[in-house]
Amino acid sequence: MPIRQMHFLLLLSRQGKLRLQKWFTPVTEREKKKVTREMTLMVLARPPHSCNFLLWRDLKIVYKRYASLYFCCGLEDQDNELLTLEVLQRYVELLDKYFGNVCELDIIFNFEKAYFILDEFLVGGELLETSKTAVGIAMEEAETLQETMEEYMSKPTY
Amino acid sequence: MSPSVRLQEMIRVIRGARTQGEERGVIQRECAAIRAQFRQADNGTRSHNLAKLLYVHMLGYPAHFGQMECVRLIASPRYNEKRVGYLGAMMLLDEKQDASLLITNSIKNDLSHSSQYVQSLALCTLGCMGSAEMCRDLAPEIDRLLRASNSYIKKKAALCAVHIVRKVPELGELFTPASRSLLSEKNHGVLHGAVVLITELCERNPETLEQFRKAVPELVQIMKGLVMSGYSPEHNVAGISDPFLQVRILRLLRILGRNNETASDAVNDLLAQVATNTDSSKTAGSAVLYETVLTVMDIKSESGLRVLAVNILGRFLLNNDRNIRYISMTSLQKIVQTDHNAVQRHRGTIVDCLKDQDASVKRRALELSLALVSAVNIRSLMKELLLFLSSCPPELRAHTTSGIFNAAERYAPSQRWHIDTILHVLTTAGGDVRDETVPNLIQLITTATELHCYTVHKLYRALIADISVQSLVQVACWCIGEYGDLLLRGECEETEPVQVAEDDVLDALETVLQSHMSSPATRGFALTATMKLSTRITHNVDRIRSIVSIYGSCIDVELQQRAVEYNALFKKYDHMRAAVLERMPVIDKSSPGHTNGESAGGSIKEMEPTKRTQEVVLPQEPANQVCDLLDLLGGSGEPPQPSPALSTTALGPVSSTAGGDLLDLLGGLDVTPVPPSVIVYEKNGVTLKLQTDRQTDTGMTITLTATNSTDREITSLTLQAAVPKSVQLQMKAPSGDVIPAHGLGQVTQTVLLNNPNKVSLKMRVRVCYTSQDFVCQDTVQIDSFPSPAW
């Protein structure tokens, strides 16, 4: 029975640095590095205005460039590539809303936040939330919870 | 001070490093500090240290010492520590690590935590990296959460359940009741999760599928609601209300409607509605339409609906957006067999896409064009394909040539057209054709008896223009050798005849023989052709005699052998020469090689060396393609497959008539089926044997055979060899690079060694292969070779 899902989501910089990696299937560290390398070579070499879909091994690769970052997904053959483009678009919009005009540096210096947002958006390679606002709200509330804790932790003992 | 600054400070320092070495230094220091901190008692900075480690990990540095810290942090009562701990678990632990089991208990506890954000962390982690055991353990918890919790948790529980079902399919039954009731939720996130879960359950279990067919009307209602609803700011994407949910529902309906009339009927109206009401000017709308089309084509829909679907795809083909054109062609490819006529209507646009700049679009267009070739459109479509071939990207050339050949073979309107087409391909892309093209073309040419004159003229012209394309040159040489008399006659109906003298033709062949560009196989063709001409020309036989005798001392062993035997044909067996080299009969394609030898019966006349040439040209032996007199008399470097049997059969008739002497020429040979071989390498179940086929004073031919006794096949096998400086090494193409398991097959490779200085022969062989996902590489030294078979 083919497992229809996203296998991975990678964010690559123009210089080929990895900015975020999410793997939805169990993969060894070595294999991860190999896949990342190959994705970097393939995707960064694409000329502008190319088709956003590639075939690689037995997966479909959907990628989209946003400013200096390439968002790159590996999908099973059965998936709807056009919809995946929309998924990537939505993730970028969520990041943008959270960080305010997000740029690569935001994702570098606040990578944990980028992951937290991703985890409110995709789970196990499937879309978790389709509402534009719900993810942002969840992040805010989680942050409040966190701050409360930190405040408490850093409160002077006297 | 906000502790996050420490993390950001470290990131800044790392980024400030000017060299790789400097970066490594900084990271080593940081890691050492982090390690030290991990060992200390809790001091409120643990989560930040782990976060630092995760950053370092993303840069590619090892971070396994953080695994236990993740486990500890997950167990912490503080939310911020749990958060980073779970993140770390998802990044550093996967189900293959033992440490992942240790978090099962924490997850279990957190699933019932009072804060939904803690629950959510546990659900997310389980849904991303839960192992089968963990899933089995925690499935009842997930089921509970599916039923009684708020929407925020329910949607996460749903996707977690999806993961569980993927890992442990039997647990699907557990989630079926809960998932059914989730369909009545209003929250889109929950609904989406429910649809995904139900899809997963239905795909794995036919009974569940039956059950959920009853839910079709409900799904149709939900879908209708989405399509017809007004603007919803929360879910609107380019005018489409929640395209993500729409697509998933359509996919589920597809699965439910497949092979089922009732379900398909219930869905027909909806699909028509979606198809007509969805605005496809942006990607979101196109995505929904695309899924609709896929659904229509997959279920038992009305023919009108199918036509509508194909038309949508046709419209997509004209879209400016490359992605949409690409998608359209992918879908058309899927239905080209079943709805051939409908797709044919769009052939023009598809063929235009061959000219697109984008490689992915080109590839799709090529596949589809090849699928659309028919007897009716073969001429016009082939023109387009040949045009495409002249400018197509290199990675597509091989595929294009083989596609063209297949199409030509099936639908050629005439033999002349067929030959012309193949010649055109060889001239344009002869380097990218498959190896059996040469024998196939030769066979085709022999059958087109009225066109022999035309063909040889065309090929001669091609040959004098350019001798770099090996496949073309080989066919040209063969033709000239066979039909040279027609060429020299100077008259031709079908085309402008050339006025050539015998010397011109021999010049052309000699150029091929002497050129650096010619491969050994090509040179073999040229030599044989030259020899054949000796019975077709009248004045220059002496020239041929001298060419043949010169090559009697050629360094290339095969060429040498040929020349020596042709020489013998001139000297000792001149009375047989005319018969041996006479025109070949039409090669019957349906008997690919095993009959010709046997049907020879007792007559030497039928055992023409050139005929033998055709028998032994097998796809498995690209480099050794053209064998000759050599193999007729059972010579060295025998191709691995059927030929040993062939050569003995062919041998038979020779000896029964005048051939006894021929045998003596090669000093009496015994073709033993199993020559002695030596095992030179044995490891990981892979065995490499060496056998010497033939040995002379100045060289030898050996065959390396690799077998595999493991359970799984060995792939990517390559053999490399090195020899002492004065020895020349020639490795023929291996028979393959995959060794079947359990010793059920083997890979062989012939190696020719030429040792003119008669030094002591040693050889080093490097064996490289992939076994059970490990790449192995070993080198063996061979100091002594077994004695040859004969």
What does the buried/exposed string (b/e) look like for B78-96 if buried means 16 or more CB atoms within 10 Å of the residue's CB?
A: bbbbbbbbbbbbbbbbbbe
Q: Which residues contact B538 (CB under 8 A, 6 or more apart)?
A: B502
Give the relative orientation of helices B79-92 and A111-119 as an angle to the nearest 10 degrees: 90
Q: Would the CA dihedral through B492, B494, B496, B500 be positive or negative?
A: negative
Q: Contact, B673 vs B789, CB < 8 A?
A: no
- Stretches in chain B below the pLDDT threshold 50: 1-3, 591-673, 790
Closest-CA residue in chain B for A136? B234
d(CA B667, CA B587): 32
Q: What is the token pair recorded at B587? A: 């090669």
Between A26, A82, A145, which is nearest B96 by CB? A26
Interface test with B, best of A22, A82, A99 (most B CBs within 10 A): A82
Work out the angle between the directed axes of helices B520-533 and B502-514 (0-180°, nearest 10): 160
Among chain A residues, the shortest Cα distance to B293 is held by A80
Residue contact B95–A26, C-beta within 8 A: yes
- Identity at B511, one-letter amino acid code: T
Type of residue found at B597: G
- CA gyration radius for chain B? 36
Q: Quick one: DSSP state of residue B493?
A: S
Are the Cβ atoms of B117 and A134 closer than 8 angstroms?
Answer: no
CA distance B323 to chain A (A): 5
Instruction: From first to last of the 158 residues of chain A, give the pLDDT tens digit.
Output: 455 678 999 999 999 999 999 999 888 889 999 999 999 999 999 988 889 998 898 899 999 999 999 999 999 877 789 999 999 999 999 999 999 999 999 999 999 999 999 999 999 999 999 999 999 999 999 988 887 766 665 655 54
* Residue B83 forms contact with A (CB below 8 Å): yes
DSSP reduced 3-state for B120: helix
The upper half-sphere exposure of residue A58, i.e. CA atoms within 13 Å in the direction of its Cβ, equals: 6
For residue A142, give how far its alpha carbon lies from the nearest alpha carbon of chain B (Å).
7
Q: Which pLDDT score, from 0 to 100, does residue B630 have?
A: 34
Whether A145 sits inside 8 A of B79 (CB atoms) is yes
Q: Please report residues of B whose CB lies closer than 8 A to that of A24.
A: 128
Collapsing DSSP to helix, strand or coil, B316 comes out as: helix
B132 touches chain A (CB under 8 A): no
Tens digits of residue pLDDT in B564-596: 988 888 888 888 888 888 888 777 765 444 333
Q: Is A126's CB within 8 Å of B196's CB?
A: yes
Distances (CA, A) of B375 to B180, B380, B382, B385, B737: 52, 11, 11, 15, 38
**Contact check, Cβ <8 Å, B84/A28:** no
Contacts of B192 in chain A (CB under 8 A): 127-130
* A-B Cβ pairs (cutoff 8 Å, strict): 166
Q: SS in 3 state form for B339-401?
A: CHHHHHCCHHHHHHHCCCCCHHHHHHHHHHHHHHCCCCCHHHHHHHHHHHHHHCCHHHHHHHH
CA-based nearest residue in chain A for residue B120: A120
Contact B123, B145 (CB under 8 A): yes
pLDDT at B604: 36
Those residues whose C-beta lies under 8 Å from the C-beta of residue A154, and which sit 6 or more positions away, are B44
Tokens of B254: 């597809």
- Spatial contact of B767 and B687, defined as CB atoms under 8 Å apart: no
Alpha carbon distances (Å) from B133 to B101, B137, B138: 8, 6, 9
Q: How far is A109 from chain B (nearest CA, A)?
A: 6
Asked if A136 and A98 touch (Cβ cutoff 8 Å), the reply is: yes
Give me the sheet containing A53-56, strands edge to edge: A18-23, A6-13, A69-75, A59-66, A53-56
Closest by alpha carbon to B165, among B122, B145, B136, B125? B136
The two structure tokens encoding residue B149: 């919790």
Q: What single-letter amino acid sits at B521?
A: A
CA atoms within 13 A on the CB side of B429: 28
Q: List CB contacts of B98: < 8 A, sequence separation 6 or more.
A: none
- Residues A52-84 have pLDDT tens digits of 998 898 899 999 999 999 999 999 877 789 999
Residue A105: what pLDDT? 93
- Burial of residue B585, with CB atoms counted within 10 A of its CB: 0-12 exposed, 13-18 middle, 19 or more buried: exposed
Task: Name which of A19, A51, A83 is nearest B244 (Cβ-Cβ).
Answer: A83
A50:B322 CB<8 A: yes
CA dist., res. B638 & res. B634, Å (int): 8
Structure tokens at B30: 């940081």
Q: B159 and chain A: CB distance < 8 Å anywhere?
A: yes
Identify the three-state secondary structure at position B57.
Answer: helix
Per CB-CB distance under 8 Å, the chain B contacts of A85 are 283, 287, 323
Residue numbers of A between 59 and 78 with CB closer than 8 Å to B: none
With an 8 Å Cβ cutoff, is B17 touching chain A?
no
Q: Tokens for B121, please give them.
A: 């962390």
| Residue in B127, B155, B247 nearest the CB of A83 | B247
Which residues 6+ apart lie within 8 Å of B745 measured at CB? B707, B708, B739
3-state secondary structure of B335: helix
Chain A residues with CB under 8 Å of B12 CB are 109
Contacts of A50 in chain B (CB under 8 A): 322, 358-360
Q: Strand B774-782's sheet: what is its strand order? A: B714-722, B763-771, B774-782
Question: Which residues in chain A have their CB less than 8 angstroms from residue B317's CB?
Answer: none
pLDDT of residue A152: 60
Chain A from 93 to 132: CB within 8 A of any B CB: 108-109, 111-112, 115-116, 119, 123-124, 126-132
How many C-alpha atoms does B594 have within 13 Å on its Cβ side?
4
Query: Taking CB atoms and an 8 Å limit, are A80 and B124 in contact across chains?
Result: no
The three-state secondary structure class of A143 is helix
B654, B605 Cβ separation under 8 angstroms: no
pLDDT given for residue B675 in this prediction: 57
Test mutation, B244, B288, B363, chain A, max A CBs within 10 A:
B244
A131 and B84 within 8 Å at the Cβ level: the answer is no
Asked if A45 has any chain B CB less than 8 Å from its own CB, the reply is no
Helix (H, G, I), strand (E, B) or coil at B517: coil
Whether the CB-CB separation of B755 and B761 falls below 8 Å is answered with yes
CA dist B109 and B76 (Å) reads 11
Q: Does the CB of B358 have a partner CB in chain A at under 8 Å? A: yes
Q: What is the residue whose two structure tokens read 């030929």?
A: B643
Please judge whether B290 and A86 are an interchain contact, meaning their C-beta atoms are less than 8 angstroms apart. no
Query: Is the entire prediction scored with pTM above 0.80?
Result: no
Q: How many CB atoms lie within 10 A of CB B674?
A: 7
Q: Enumerate the residues of chain A whose CB falls inside 8 A of the CB of residue B359.
A: 50-51
Residue B581 has φ and ψ, to the nearest 5°, of -100, 15
CB B560 within 8 A of CB B554: yes
Which two tokens mark B675? 């020559």
Locate the DSSP E strands across B234-349: 236-237, 240-241
Alpha-carbon distances of A127 from B137, B138, B159, B772, rounded to whole Å: 25, 22, 8, 34
A87 shares contact with chain B (CB less than 8 Å): yes
Nearest CA in chain B to A153: B44
Kindly give the pairing relationship between strand B774-782 and strand B677-683.
unpaired
Helix (H) or strand (E) holding B638: none
How far apart, in whole angstroms, are the C-alpha atoms of residue A117 and residue B83?
A: 12
CB nearest to A21's CB, from B12, B58, B95: B58
Please give the residue of chain B at the shortest CA–CA distance from A147. Answer: B80
- Alpha carbons B427 and B425: distance in angstroms, whole number: 5
Q: Is A157 on the interface with B (CB under 8 A)?
A: no
Residue of A nearest to B127 (CA): A124
CA distance A15 to chain B (A): 13
What distances in angstroms separate CA B350 from CA A82, B346, B381, B616, one per listed residue?
Answer: 20, 6, 11, 41
- 3-state secondary structure (DSSP) of residue B266: helix
Contact (Cβ atoms closer than 8 angstroms) between residue A60 and residue A81: yes
Residue of chain B minimizing CA distance to A93:
B237
So what's the pLDDT on residue B7? 87
The answer to whether residue B160 neighbours chain A at the CB level (below 8 Å) is yes
What is the pLDDT at residue A74?
94
Q: What's the pLDDT score for residue B608?
A: 40
Identify whether the C-beta of residue A63 lies closer than 8 Å to the C-beta of residue A43.
yes
Mark out the alpha helices in B168-215 (DSSP H runs).
Answer: 172-182, 188-204, 206-213
Contacts of B656 (CB under 8 A, 6+ apart): B602
| Paired tokens of B759 | 């030094």
CA dihedral for B440, B442, B446, B452, sign (positive or negative): positive
Q: Do B159 and A128 touch (CB under 8 A)?
A: yes
For B685, left (φ over 0), alpha (ψ -120 to 50), or beta?
left
SS3 B649: helix
Residue B176 CB partners (closer than 8 Å, separation 6+): B201, B208, B211
| Cβ atoms of residues A138 and B152 within 8 Å | yes
Question: Residue B683 — φ and ψ, nearest 5°?
Answer: -165, 145
